[in-house]
Amino acid sequence: MEDLQQIMERTTRTDPMNNTMEILQGVRLLNPFSAFDGVVDVAIEEDSVKWIREASGEPSGLWLFPGLIDMHVHLRTPGYEEAETLETGLRAAVAGGVTRVGMMPNTSPVLDTAELVLAVRTKGNSLGLAEIEPIPCVTVGRAGETCTDLEDFADSGISCFSDDGSPVESNKALQEALRRVSLFNGVVIEHPEVTSMAAGGAVNQGRASTETGVKGIAESAEYLDVKRCVDILRDSESEARLHLTHLSSPESVQLAYDAACEGLNVTCDVTPHHLSLNEEAVITLGATAKMNPPLRSEKSRKALVNMVSRGMVTAIASDHAPHSKAAKEMPLATAAFGITGLETLLSLTLDVLGREGGMSPLDIIRLLTTAPAAILNIPSPEIASGKKLNMVLFDPEEKWVYSSSYSRSSNSPFFGEVLTGRVLRVWFPEELYREGEFV
């Protein structure tokens, strides 16, 4: 079998007339921005695309697509640096082909003032890795009651807000936040949960709660909050945008989809793990597969895959949630919720939505690039002549073992597993990552 070095030699060369230019030969370009899917040669010079031409030789089998946007990531800094630092989290992002991350605000202190958020963003972006798109709190202290100074954030170009980890509890605060963000095309990202129903639960209510003897969390604890948010949005009679994140229940997706069909600005995402795993994982692996919302029944998992493939889900996001070993090596009922996800995002998503959902690679990459860009109100990444480099070279066939991580944490049920499809190189805008190493 050809090794990586041989593939690289076969598919890349420098132009003999111009040794600062490199040509990626016979790559399958997947460019959702222009809906292009075809085999081409791509010339790059320094930090830009020089030209894109019809392939001169045989297809290399490698794919080239824009850097991914993972709109739901926990970087844990400040406050939980034992689980992740900005540097380890942003390295894990790049290693996973992600060049922009939506950073959730449930840090300590929480990200609820522009001053703190800008300091974190500046520090993160100075590392020259993936870029941070901050998602500050909707409410002060992430307490669900009083809105933060949303316009102050907007003045700094920040327009996405979430109390992730918790829902926006107060109906009044949610209504007010939707009204205020609508004035600057912002979005409220809701973690849908009826906390009074979910409190004390750790696994799916059903087979998982019966088998483990641990309190369950019903799907209704999620979709009843989706319903509440949609009702509040409808009553607001505004153009406000509401995004519902990490939906695990088909009922939730249906409600979000129906709201969008009705003309409301509602979008949603699901995670790769809710598409790839069912509650058997938590029964077998315990806290390693404990997350919020919990892994659901096989019936629900299949329905979710089907709904994504039918275009009812707007985006895919990892909900990368690193935790220290100590936080996970606890009884199932008390261990921390969440799994790491940045480095497995692509392999898992392409596998489940391609193999099982029958989706084309272009449509899957769209869910990870232009779709989250539109939700976050940031420019869509694209690969085009003259554009700065923001792209990933990917081998869809390569098998690899997820056995080491650039994240500080490795709490994942996929750790140690063989995955298919690997990130080979990442440019943003210079080459950052190549063959498993940072350049």
By annotation, the residues acting in catalysis are: 319
Closest approach, Cβ 164 to Zn ion, in A, equals 4
Cβ 250 vs Cβ 304: under 8 Å: yes
Cβ burial, residue 307 (10 Å; 0-12/13-18/19+): buried
Q: Per DSSP, what are the bridge partners of residue 426?
A: 392, 433
Which is nearest to 108 in space by CA: 134, 81, 147? 81
Cβ-based nearer residue to Zn ion, 104 or 305: 104
Q: Give me the 96-135 binding string for Zn ion, x by CB under 5 A, dash otherwise.
A: ----------------------------------------
**The one segment of 162-170, 211-219, 235-243, 328-336 that binds Zn ion by CB under 5 A:** 162-170
Cβ-based nearer residue to Zn ion, 248 or 297: 248
Which is nearest to 409 in space by CA: 330, 333, 331, 326? 326
The number of beta carbons lying within 10 Å of the beta carbon of residue 107 is 21
70 binds Zn ion (CB under 5 A): no
Q: Per DSSP, what are the bridge partners of residue 102?
A: 133
Q: How far apart are CA 46 and CA 29, in angstroms?
A: 20
Closest approach, Cβ 167 to Zn ion, in A, equals 9
Residue nearest to Zn ion (CB): 191
Cβ-based nearer residue to Zn ion, 99 or 162: 162
**The one segment of 13-21, 58-66, 111-119, 161-169 that binds Zn ion by CB under 5 A:** 161-169
Q: How far apart are CA 126 and CA 34, in angstroms?
A: 30
**The one segment of 37-45, 164-172, 198-206, 420-428 that binds Zn ion by CB under 5 A:** 164-172
Cβ-based nearer residue to Zn ion, 76 or 191: 191
Closest approach, Cβ 230 to Zn ion, in A, equals 18
With CB under 5 A, what is the number of residues at the site for Zn ion? 2
Cβ 202 vs Cβ 288: under 8 Å: no
Q: Give me the 169-208 binding string for Zn ion, x by CB under 5 A, dash otherwise.
A: ----------------------x-----------------
Cβ-based nearer residue to Zn ion, 191 or 290: 191
Closest approach, Cβ 43 to Zn ion, in A, equals 42
Tokens 């963000």 belong to 181
Closest approach, Cβ 118 to Zn ion, in A, equals 23
Cβ-based nearer residue to Zn ion, 51 or 337: 337
Cβ 53 vs Cβ 41: under 8 Å: yes
273 binds Zn ion (CB under 5 A): no
Closest approach, Cβ 165 to Zn ion, in A, equals 6
243 binds Zn ion (CB under 5 A): no
The number of beta carbons lying within 10 Å of the beta carbon of residue 9 is 11
Closest approach, Cβ 83 to Zn ion, in A, equals 16
Cβ-based nearer residue to Zn ion, 165 or 206: 165
Cβ-based nearer residue to Zn ion, 133 or 164: 164
Closest approach, Cβ 321 to Zn ion, in A, equals 8
**The one segment of 95-103, 157-165, 274-282, 366-374 that binds Zn ion by CB under 5 A:** 157-165
164 binds Zn ion (CB under 5 A): yes
Binding site residues, Zn ion, CB under 5 A: 164, 191
